[in-house]
Amino acid sequence: MKKIKVWDIPTRLFHWALLIGVAFMWYSSGDFDLMEYHMIIGRLILCMLVFRIVWGFVGSITARFTDFIRSPISGIRYLFGRDSSRTEGHNPAGGWMILALMLVLLTQAVTGLFADDDIFYSGPFFLSVDADLADWLNGLHHQNIDYLWVLIGIHVLASIVYQIRGKNLIGSMLTGNKQAEETVEAPEMRSPWLALAIFCVICGLGYYFMW
């Protein structure tokens, strides 16, 4: 066995920054004094998600959607132990979990742009749509969070199960390294400077349109 690099710095930073961001959003959601920061962090999370989508096409091999999005049948077969295909990144079932989490988080972030607390704070696009649509989006923003907690719970539980089984997924996402067979070659890693440039452009566009 040998140690190889499977997760690049941008992917790891995205993962842990998103964790911190979502935790803050939960903490601040019921605190009026923190609502301004809640909205700022929400927009930053949206920029992070857009970056991750772009990085999913141009980033390192294991960060690309083509590496971990398989057919739904492959995901089901993997869950029942009938798919032994090896991947250095996300497994077939984990790939679908990542996709589901991103879709729900995107829904949460986008609907937050149209949200309103009926008192003082409202999203930057609240007045750009009619009242009925704004109310529907606001309702979806509050309802969608339940789906997010379910997915996060499954994700955390799966990580714990893998840890118990001796697969250190959490450690790999911290260090970027993973134990592999001697014959396995390390996947190609893209430059973190490319990721930084992409993220800066996305944040610049986000600031222009959302502030």
CB contact at 8 A, 191 and 11: no
In this structure, what DSSP letter does residue 59 have?
S
Domain coordinates of the chain in residue numbers?
2-210
From first to last of its 211 residues, the chain has per-residue pLDDT tens of 899 999 999 999 999 999 999 999 999 998 989 999 999 999 999 999 999 999 999 999 999 999 999 999 988 888 887 766 667 899 899 999 999 999 999 999 999 999 998 778 899 999 999 999 999 999 999 999 999 999 999 999 999 998 998 889 999 999 999 988 888 899 999 999 999 999 999 999 999 999 8
SS3 content of the chain, % helix, strand, coil (to 5): 70, 5, 25
Structure tokens at 195: 């990721």
Work out the end-to-end distance of the chain between its first and last CA atoms, rounded to an integer number of angstroms. Answer: 51
Q: CA 79 to CA 87: how far, in whole Å? A: 15
Q: For the domain made up of 2-210, give the CATH fold.
A: Fumarate Reductase Cytochrome B subunit (1.20.950)
pTM: 0.94
